[in-house]
Amino acid sequence: MQTASIRGVALVVENPIGHILILQEFQNKPHLGKWAGMFSIPMETSRPDESDDSALDRLRREEIGGFSLPLPGKLVGRYQIVDGVWVTCYSTRTNSCALPTIASEADEVGNYRWSPPDQSCRLWLRRGAIEMIRHHIAGTCCVVCNDCVPPRGPVC
């Protein structure tokens, strides 16, 4: 029996000094490859038949409190973060070093920070985020990653 695929979007947001926006997950959702306490780039599950543009706009509103960004940005690639869950990642730049000031609508994420991309890869990251960040750093486009690396345990 084949299960339906879940789609989502992710966004690597880079500021003028080359740091990327990192947030912390507050809820456990193992079926989506996330656990409370881990870090990530902004990611959002798409609704059935929702376009990436619409899902990215909702991600901007719900995950990062309406933070102003040019969307959709550059396509980085598609990533299977867990079995049956595919995320399309985009990257964009902001002209500001300010952090989002409004907490996420559902209080699923918070503790926003700007982080150098190479240092971000050393955090306890949500599955798929490390590949998305590394591909963003390399400037690659249209990557397809079928098997993302499982996250390392929490970093003390």
Q: Is the pLDDT of residue 4 over 90?
A: no
Confidence class of residue 100 from pLDDT cuts 50, 70 and 90? confident
Mean pLDDT of the chain: 88
Report the distance separating Cα 97 and Cα 15, nearest Å: 6
pLDDT tens figures, 52-66: 999 999 998 888 876
The runs of H, that is alpha helices, within 64-98 are: none
pLDDT tens figures, 70-98: 888 999 999 999 999 999 999 999 998 88
pTM of full prediction above 0.85: yes
- Reduced to 3 states (helix: H, G, I; strand: E, B; else coil), residue 142 is coil
Q: Is the pLDDT of residue 156 over 80?
A: no
Q: What is the pLDDT of residue 147?
A: 87
Q: Is the pLDDT of residue 153 over 90?
A: no
CA separation (Å) from 35 to 1, 25, 30, 62, 153? 27, 7, 6, 18, 11
What's the average model confidence in pLDDT over 97-107? 71
What's the average model confidence in pLDDT over 124-144? 94
What's the average model confidence in pLDDT over 123-129? 93
Angle at 74 (CA atoms; ends 92, 141), nearest 5 degrees: 130
Q: What is the pLDDT of residue 49?
A: 93
User: What are the structural domains, with CATH classification, of the chain?
Assistant: 6-145 (3.90.79.10)
